[in-house]
Amino acid sequence: MTPELAHDLKASVRTIPDYPKPGIMFRDITTLLGDPRSFRRAVDELVQPWAGSKIDKVAGIEARGFIIGGAIAHQVSSGFVPIRKKGKLPHTCVSMSYALEYGTDIIEMHADALVRGERVILVDDLIATGGTAEGAIKLLRQVGAEVVAACFIIDLPELGGADKIRAMGVPVRTLIGFEGH
């Protein structure tokens, strides 16, 4: 990706200070999503390394991962799998507990969303500490999926999440980085 593209995408992300709590700089991608050119370029850049590869499913993490993941699934002609917080899906689910900054949470997906051996790209808007993405990868692997990559528009490199995912043997694709939290 060119430095110019990274700059353009970064400029399309709104930063909201002290949200959801003091000291946090919230990176809001709704402004990027609302700009057709930035949204299209972000999706194109996220899938570029796997263009022409066999991708069976794109798994998106609730909620912004649904938006990006749906667009990526369309782009690579694959199915889409929602990964949601516990209790949000209506059919038989498999679940995985994952670490939060303070405590744990549970994510789920439908038990029949994937077939063992399917090649999956995991997608979300941002990677920080990597706890949710790590849980999602474990969940996908639990049902026998091959996690081909994890893709995020934004990386907060100081928090180490992308490195945590790479240490699990999953390539990580990010488009822009922001310093701090």
The strand order across the sheet containing 93-100 reads: 93-100, 103-110, 79-85, 57-61, 119-127, 146-155, 172-177
> Widest CA span of the chain, in angstroms?
46
Residue in 4, 101, 116, 179 annotated catalytic: 101
Residue in 64, 108, 118, 173 annotated catalytic: 64
Q: Catalytic residue at 64?
A: yes
DSSP 113-175: S--TT-EEEEEEEEESS-HHHHHHHHHHHHTT-EEEEEEEEEE-GGG-HHHHHHHTT--EEEE
Q: Catalytic residue at 101?
A: yes
Structure tokens at 90: 């209506």
Task: Catalogue the active-site residues.
Answer: 64, 101
